[in-house]
């Protein structure tokens, strides 16, 4: 589950028009979300608030053997007015959905480009509503600080938008047990749309590095935009244009790499990677495939993720080392449901599942007009006005999601996340199938409330 502050930080990037997808570090983000999702440990409760459009706070209290917690503050010079901050109104997909659709390229020739296909328009998209960025994004700043108790560990983040294509990030951690009492990492990010470059420097080992990502195919040129592509195909093929467009895989290729060197420990490293991902305008099954190679260490990593249905995402990952011949694999799954938590835990009529079933139990999809009028298709012209609708009712279709993963060590991770009234919860456990006498390795419950 994304924490509230991460949700607000993503909203800042959206409000300023910064495309986090156009960076090399996010190449495997989809597969990592589906396979490497964190499991809660112990009991943890988080209370957050977007007090003003510019200021947010978060307080966390947990118990894993000992009582600990944290205090967080965030300030944005850009007003964050186009997001839902109340926990009973935040779209669950914005916090819980792991499959990530690529956004439109951030800029072309210094001008921000927003196309119809770039904006999420259904439940499969990360639902953070933003306005098209403008010149006010230049000079925008984000300040974030978090104090962990009782260990007195302090972390901070500073983000400064220098111009529409250039952004500066500084992150720091301070704690006495760390070498030199802490560390600072600086990033200079340049996003030109068709390519993105990052330069980094860290006080930990005196590390210097550079990484970049280059995009081609798909929407990388105006001539190949979704709208023009559909239009050209339709004109050339007549009535068969729409059918051929549905069958054609419309996506973007990305290739990049990173090189880094530690000036103090005299060691370095590098990696190369490539990704293909379908774009939101693609009418078929969304998919993402990546391949990364570390030539110095001999590691090869391949991932494949697919949004099989709106309610089901799957991912696989294979790793191989050419020097030791060691291999690893992992699989992950995400299954969404529109049932309440009690119905999931205690069992419910299969007709309440979001998974369509054949025969008379298949759930009938409401028409768009019926959804606008808050009624079912067979209820007549009108059943309930928006004023009569309870204020705390879920704003999106699903009530929760079941996530599961397994690796080659037969270690399972099971997580159920959803919303109960005004609380967003995450209940998970880790299971080791090789130790059936004591299979449960961890168990935890995390609860979030925001206003």
For the segment 318-345, the average pLDDT, to the nearest whole number, is 84
Higher per-residue confidence, 92 vs 367: 92
Q: Is residue 240 part of a domain?
A: yes
Write the CA distances from 60 to 51, 67, 249, 366, 403, integer angstroms: 17, 11, 44, 40, 24
Q: Look over the chain and give the mean of its residue pLDDT values, rounded to a whole number.
A: 79
Residues in the chain: 451
pLDDT, tens digit (0-9, with 9 covering 90-100), for 188-203: 999 988 899 999 999 9
User: Do residues 60 and 74 lie in contact, with contact meaning Cβ atoms separated by under 8 Å?
Assistant: no
CA distance linking residue 56 with residue 444, whole number of Å: 26
Q: Is residue 424 part of a domain?
A: yes
The SS3 assignment for 7 reads helix
Q: Is residue 371 part of a domain?
A: no
Q: How confident is the model at residue 102 (pLDDT cuts 50, 70, 90)?
A: confident
Q: Choose among 302, 282, 283, 284: nearest CA to 292.
A: 302
For position 85, what pLDDT does the model report? 86
Q: Is 326 exposed, middle or buried (0-12, 13-18, 19+ CB in 10 A)?
A: exposed
User: Do residues 206 and 183 lie in contact, with contact meaning Cβ atoms separated by under 8 Å?
Assistant: no
CA distance linking residue 100 with residue 234, whole number of Å: 29
Domain residues for the domain of 430 are 4-337+398-450
Higher per-residue confidence, 132 vs 214: 214
**pTM here?**
0.77
CA distance linking residue 45 with residue 49, whole number of Å: 14
Tokens of 31: 């597969």
Q: Which DSSP state fits 258?
A: E
Q: Assess whether pLDDT exceeds 70 at residue 249.
A: yes
Q: How confident is the model at residue 113 (pLDDT cuts 50, 70, 90)?
A: very low
CA 387 to chain CA centroid, nearest Å: 33
For the segment 87-103, the average pLDDT, to the nearest whole number, is 87
For the segment 246-257, the average pLDDT, to the nearest whole number, is 82
The CA radius of gyration of the chain, in Å to the nearest whole number, is 23
Q: Assess whether pLDDT exceeds 50 at residue 383.
A: no
Q: Is residue 9 part of a domain?
A: yes
Q: What percent of the chain has pLDDT over 70?
A: 74
CATH of the domain at 287: 2.40.160.10
Q: Is residue 192 part of a domain?
A: yes
The SS3 assignment for 410 reads coil
Q: Choose among 212, 209, 298, 293: nearest CA to 259.
A: 209
Q: Peptide bond preceding 402: is omega within 30 degrees of 0, i.e. cis?
A: no
Give the lowest-confidence range in 87-91, 126-130, 282-286, 350-354: 126-130
Write the CA distances from 70 to 41, 47, 84, 450, integer angstroms: 16, 11, 23, 15
Highest mean pLDDT, choosing among 213-222, 291-300, 338-347, 374-383: 291-300
Q: Assess whether pLDDT exceeds 80 at residue 236.
A: no
Q: For the chain, report the end-to-end CA distance as a whole number of angstroms.
A: 17
User: Do residues 338 and 354 lie in contact, with contact meaning Cβ atoms separated by under 8 Å?
Assistant: yes
- Burial of 152-184, coded b for 16+ CB within 10 Å and e otherwise, reads ebebbbebebeebbebebebbbeeeeeeeebbe
Q: Is residue 372 part of a domain?
A: no
Q: Is residue 150 part of a domain?
A: yes
Strand partners, 424: 419, 448
Overall domain count for the chain: 1
Q: Assess whether pLDDT exceeds 70 at residue 119.
A: no
Q: Is residue 331 part of a domain?
A: yes
Give the lowest-confidence range in 20-29, 123-132, 364-373, 428-437: 123-132
């Amino acid at each position: 589950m994304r924490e509230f502050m991460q949700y607000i930080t993503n909203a800042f990037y959206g409000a300023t028009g910064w495309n986090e997808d156009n960076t090399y570090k996010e190449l495997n983000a989809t597969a990592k979300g589906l396979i490497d999702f964190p499991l809660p440990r112990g009991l943890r409760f988080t209370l957050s608030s977007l007090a003003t459009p510019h200021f947010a706070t978060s307080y966390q209290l947990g118990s894993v053997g000992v009582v600990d917690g944290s205090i967080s503050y965030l300030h944005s010079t850009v007003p964050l007015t186009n997001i839902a901050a109340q926990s009973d109104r935040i779209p669950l997909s914005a916090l819980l959905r792991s499959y990530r659709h690529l956004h439109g390229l951030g800029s072309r020739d210094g001008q921000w480009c927003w196309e119809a296909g770039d904006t999420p328009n259904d439940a499969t998209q990360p639902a953070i509503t933003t306005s098209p960025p403008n010149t006010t994004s230049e000079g925008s700043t984000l300040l974030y600080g978090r104090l962990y108790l009782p260990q007195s560990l302090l972390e901070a983040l500073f983000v400064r938008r220098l111009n529409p294509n250039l952004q500066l990030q500084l992150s720091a951690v301070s704690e006495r047990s760390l070498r030199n009492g802490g560390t600072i990492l600086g990033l200079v990010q340049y996003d030109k749309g068709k390519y993105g470059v990052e330069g980094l420097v860290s006080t930990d080992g005196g590390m210097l590095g550079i990484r970049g990502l280059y995009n081609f195919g798909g929407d990388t040129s105006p001539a190949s935009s979704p709208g023009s592509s559909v239009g050209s195909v339709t004109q050339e093929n007549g009535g068969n244009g729409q059918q051929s467009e549905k069958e054609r895989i419309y996506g973007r290729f990305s290739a990049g790499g990173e090189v880094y060197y530690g000036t103090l420990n005299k060691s370095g490293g590098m990696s190369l990677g490539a990704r293909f991902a379908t774009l939101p305008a693609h009418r078929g099954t969304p998919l993402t495939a990546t391949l990364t190679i570390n030539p110095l260490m001999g590691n090869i990593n391949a991932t494949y993720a697919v949004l099989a249905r709106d309610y089901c995402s799957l991912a696989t990952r294979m790793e191989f080392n050419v020097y030791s011949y060691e291999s690893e694999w992992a699989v992950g799954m995400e299954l969404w449901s529109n049932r309440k938590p009690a119905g999931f835990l205690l069992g419910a009529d299969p007709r309440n599942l979001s998974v369509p079933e054949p025969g008379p139990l298949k759930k009938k999809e409401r028409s768009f007009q019926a959804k606008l009028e808050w009624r079912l298709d067979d209820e007549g012209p009108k059943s309930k006005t928006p004023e009569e609708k309870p204020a705390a009712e879920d704003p999106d279709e699903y009530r929760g999601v079941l996530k599961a993963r397994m690796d080659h060590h037969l270690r399972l991770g099971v997580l159920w996340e959803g919303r109960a009234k005004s609380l967003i919860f995450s209940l998970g456990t880790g299971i080791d199938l090789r130790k059936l006498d004591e299979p449960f390795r961890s168990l935890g419950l995390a609860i979030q409330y925001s206003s």
